[in-house]
């Protein structure tokens, strides 16, 4: 018996790989530092919230797609007749 003979099993494997890759990208992504001022600077510029790096966005997308693919494949495998 071949372990990944159907597309559902291949989708499960791809989902798990994407999920792990997303977590790794999120862990190694550089994080923004947070600064606190006790006063509001008197400049005439808008204060924008901190933005996320492209590694964080990519990691979040990989985790989302991997989790969705894994959930779909596991649901399809669990609902299959013996």
| Cut 0.85: pTM above it | no
- Is 48 part of a structural domain of the chain? no
- The 10s digit of each residue's pLDDT in 16-68 is 999 999 999 999 988 776 666 666 666 666 666 667 888 999 999 999 999 99
Q: What is the total count of domains within the chain?
A: 1
At residue 1, the pLDDT reads 55
At residue 39, the pLDDT reads 65
- Is 63 part of a structural domain of the chain? yes
Task: Specify whether the CB–CB gap between 62 and 21 falls below 8 A.
Answer: yes
- Is 17 part of a structural domain of the chain? yes
- Is 2 part of a structural domain of the chain? no
Comparing 72 with 43, the larger pLDDT belongs to 72
- Is 16 part of a structural domain of the chain? yes
Helix-then-strand count for the chain, H and E: 2, 0
φ/ψ (deg, to 5) at 27:
-70, -40
Burial-class residue 57 by CB neighbours within 10 Å (0-12, 13-18, 19+): middle
At residue 24, the pLDDT reads 96
**17: nearest Cα among 55, 57, 54, 69:** 69
- Is 65 part of a structural domain of the chain? yes
CA 9 to chain centre: 21
At residue 67, the pLDDT reads 97
Q: What tokens does 66 get?
A: 């991997």
- Is 38 part of a structural domain of the chain? no
At residue 76, the pLDDT reads 92
- Is 14 part of a structural domain of the chain? yes
């Amino acid at each position: 018996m071949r372990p990944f003979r159907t597309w559902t099993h291949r989708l499960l494997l791809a989902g798990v790989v994407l999920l792990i890759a997303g977590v790794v990208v999120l862990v190694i992504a550089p994080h923004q530092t947070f600064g606190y001022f006790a006063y509001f600077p008197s400049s005439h510029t808008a204060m924008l919230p901190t933005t996320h790096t492209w590694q964080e966005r990519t990691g979040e997308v990989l985790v989302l797609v991997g989790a969705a693919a894994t959930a779909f494949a596991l649901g399809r495998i669990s609902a299959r007749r013996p």
